[in-house]
Amino acid sequence: MGPTDRRSDEDLVAICNVGDAHEAARAFATLYRRHRDFVLRVARRFTRDRELALDALQETFTYLLRKFPPVGEGLTLTARLPTLLYPVAKSSTIDAMRKARRYVGVDDEVLAELPAEPAAEAEPIDAALAALSPERREVLTLRFVDDLSLAEIAVALDVPLGTVKSRLHLGLKELRDDSRIKGLLGP
């Protein structure tokens, strides 16, 4: 099993659930390699701190590992693995930020405003995205950056599908109406 392992996530999860220890470890390593960039990308959305993002990566995959025997009872995928990993990565990142806050004095208001406003040199699209509500920005990012379906977004965020559709529609409308990017998104 290498980086070019063509088995599905479902097959690899099944091996982690019932395979011998060596084969399960190799299957888990493949899942890690396949999805670590996604988890890091999610973590970096919520913190600009590389070390905190790496902590969240470790915690996310530790959570996943604990789902499998002998510690856990196994995992049944009912959606794509990124749909399961997204809320874990988000929560792990926020937890890592809270832990770091104890040492640097950041208050809860900072955590409520995640992700932070872009730097002054940000592209117009970044500034327009930052102006959206966190809920709308999150749905747009999951749909167009992470390529999750609307149903997968609903599962990942634990909200009704109609809420996802509404946030997506309203977020796109706000972006289309934003003078900084008028014309970039089309009609």
Q: What percentage of the chain exceeds 90 in pLDDT? A: 61
What is the share, in percent, of the chain residues with pLDDT greater than 70?
Answer: 82
**Model confidence at 183: pLDDT above 80:** no
Question: Domain holding 157: CATH number?
Answer: 1.10.10.10
What mean pLDDT do residues 44-64 have? Answer: 94
Selected residue with higher pLDDT from 131 and 35: 35
Least confident of 89-98, 127-136, 178-187: 178-187
pLDDT attached to residue 160 = 97
Quick one: 66 and 48 in the same domain? yes
136 HSE (CA, 13 A, CB side): 16
| 13 and 74 housed in the same domain | yes
Q: Are residues 161 and 107 in the same domain?
A: no
For residue 75 the two structure tokens come to 């995992």
Q: Do 91 and 179 lie in a common domain?
A: no
Same domain? 159 vs 170: yes
Number of domains in the chain: 2
Residues spanned by the domain of 140: 117-187
Residue 121 pLDDT greater than 90, yes or no: no
Give me the DSSP letters along 44-89: HHH-S-HHHHHHHHHHHHHHHHHTSTTTS-----SS-HHHHHHHHH
Determine which helix (DSSP H) or strand (DSSP E) holds 173, and give its type and residue range.
helix 161-177
> Half-sphere exposure of 57 toward its Cβ, with a 13 Å CA cutoff?
20
Give tens-digit pLDDT for 130-153: 888 999 999 999 998 899 999 999
Predicted structure pTM score: 0.76
CA 19/CA 21 separation, integer angstroms: 6
- Give the rounded distance of the alpha carbon of 132 from its chain centre: 18
Residues 108 and 163 in one domain: no
Same domain as 96, residue 28: yes
Q: What is the mean pLDDT of residues 4-21?
A: 91
User: 100, 115, 130: which is the final residue of a domain?
Assistant: 115
Q: Same domain, yes or no, for 17 and 102?
A: yes
Q: Which pLDDT belongs to residue 116?
A: 44
Q: Among 115, 150, 170, which residue terminates a domain?
A: 115
111 has a pLDDT exceeding 70: no
3-state SS, residue 19: coil
Q: Given a cut of 50, is residue 1 above it in pLDDT?
A: no
Residue 163: is its pLDDT beyond 90?
A: yes
State the greatest distance between any 2 C-alpha atoms of the chain, in Å, as a whole number. Answer: 58
Structure tokens at 134: 């966190």
Q: Are residues 69 and 136 in the same domain?
A: no
Tell me the CATH number at 75: 1.10.1740
